[in-house]
A = this chain, B = another copy of it.
Amino acid sequence: MYKFNLQIKHLLEHGVRYAPDEEIVYRDLVRYTYKDFEKRVHKLASALEKLGVKKGSKVAVLEWDSHRYLELYFAIPMVGAVLHNVNVRLAPADILYILNHAEDELMFVNKDFLPLIEQAKDKLPLIKNYVVLTDDEMPETTLTDLEYEKLVESGDEKFEFPELEEDTVATLGYTTGTTGKPKGVYFTHRQLVLHTLSLGLFQSAFITDASFTTKDVYMPLTPMFHVHAWGVPYLATLLGAKQVYPGRYEPQMIMKLVLEEKVTFTHCVPTILQMIVNAIPEGVKLPKWKVVIGGAKLPKGLALAAEKKGIIVVAGYGLSETAPVLTIANYNKKVVNLPEDQKFDFKIKTGIPAPLVQLRVVHEDMTDVKPDGKEMGEIVVRTPWLTPEYLKDPEKTEELWRGGWLHTKDVAVVDEYGYVTIKDRLKDVIKSGGEWISSLTLENLLSLHEAVEEAAVIGIPDEKWDERPLALVVLKPEYRDKITEDDLKKHLERYVENGTITKWAIPDSIYFLDSLPKTSVGKIDKKVLRERFRS
């Protein structure tokens, strides 16, 4: 009996059919049409087969955001192989670990990463072939003499893609947890097609300041190696939208492309947004440029600064484990009718769930929190695009999928309008007397005191209440010995009065330290603090 398997090739088919002459642009170097793009994908796929790539073969890609990467996004899964998107920002040892853990057989590697791979070659026994990606001449390398453009040229444009079962694995990535080894997550053709449809519908048929349709011009600023650049390259291709790829992120090139190619839709993390806002001279206002912000909390100050320069921001949320999109801070029908200044606060929240996303915020016993904007719980989800497991890690998989829901380890509240706001990471939240206290909220409030340079809040064991918050504060030099524990507690009490926190959340003790321990990437190392103060 008839069965239609959802496959990534259907996304490409529709885009090319709808907009054969639309453009795909790479920096100021390459410009071609969807028709050309499709031809090259066919040639590339044919060349992959000649290189021995089979159904299930893992193919690693280490590349900046480019038209080449987009070609690999389609060609590799469409022959039934697995596209392994390698996070090139990981430590070399981690990159080596994941290449072996994934059992990659073939690697596409940008010339910028050749030194790293040349050095590690002997430790990568499974990789049979390397293909070099470069904007210039083929560089000297002991790895290989295969160059991407020549490889594409060698392929057959009449190559026919096989029909695949929709549960065929299409892509593989690794989470970048702060502790432990990276964990492998993967997604099937079906999952990515459904993710694309839902995301596309959410950003076009619902009310939003960040609409995305075929008329938009798309440029990613979340790297393509990071959870499929949020899945937007697949959506942009389905829509037949103009696409612009910036290569390695350089503020000047980015601004040039935005202005010359008239980019209208982008996504990035707050840090990149900050970089862009800084790069736009005071008084200059861009034409309407919609940017969805994810990966970390979007501070209101930054959002306001961005809008002042013509960048329309909307927050979004997802994980490596979730393909990634779960929520976007689109407007619902209640919120869209609020006054403008109130609406603004909603579009920088974590957001509302996309179609087909079942999202709950739950207590530890899996009962739902009250939607009062205060009661905290963990975000758990079910959607058609979640990693079925952590690759080769049944133990972590069981933890991830406890009770049939994917546990995000993000702690959040839900307000009366249905908007989710993340308050903390699960490991940092303080569980006290059956209630959860957000360490992040307390840290933010403490930081608002003029004397406070840095603050960390951790839970310490308490016989009666399970845990109680302990604040660890570094004062600015000029305030040292002038500010007492009581001063800071009084400061916090003001936020009890206005309802930001409960009286219960005020730490019993505040200790003053000369400095706080940091991790290698400069974040406060709460693990060290806990070890020190919990015993």
Interface residues of A (CB under 8 A from B): 1-2, 4, 6, 10, 13-14, 17-19, 21-22, 193-194, 197-198, 200-201, 203-207, 212-215, 238-240, 332-334, 352-353, 355-356, 358, 382-384, 386, 388-389, 401, 404, 406, 418
* A383 & B4 in contact (Cβ 8 Å cutoff): yes
A369 shortest CB reach to chain B, Å = 16
* Least CB distance, A199 to chain B, in whole angstroms: 10
The docked-state distance in angstroms from the alpha carbon of A213 to that of B207 is 8
Quick check: A205 and B198 within 8 Å, CB to CB?
Answer: no
Q: A47: shortest Cβ distance to chain B, in Å?
A: 26
Given contacts A14-B355, A197-B197, A201-B204, 8 further A-B contacts (CB under 8 A): A1-B389, A2-B388, A2-B406, A4-B382, A193-B356, A197-B201, A200-B205, A240-B332
> Among the listed B2, B239, B358, B401, which residue makes an inter-chain contact with A205, where contact means beta carbons less than 8 Å apart?
B239
Pair B17/A214 contact, Cβ less than 8 Å: no
Closest B residue to A4 using CB positions: B384
Given A352-B18, A389-B1, answer yes or no on A384-B206 (Cβ-Cβ < 8 Å).
no
A358, closest chain B residue (CB): B13
State whether A18 touches B356 (Cβ < 8 A): no
* Alpha-carbon separation in the docked complex, A477 to B418 (Å): 71
* Residue pair B239, A206 in contact (C-beta under 8 Å): yes
> A4-B383, A214-B333, A382-B4 are known contacts. Are A14 and B418 too (CB-CB below 8 A)?
no
- A240–B333 alpha-carbon span in the complex (Å): 9
Contact A2 B201 (CB under 8 A): no
Closest residue of chain B to A166 (Cβ to Cβ) is B384
Chain B residues contacting A10 (CB-CB under 8 Å) are 355-356, 358
- Give complex CA distance A4, B18 in Å: 30
Shortest beta-carbon distance, A4 to chain B, in Å? 4
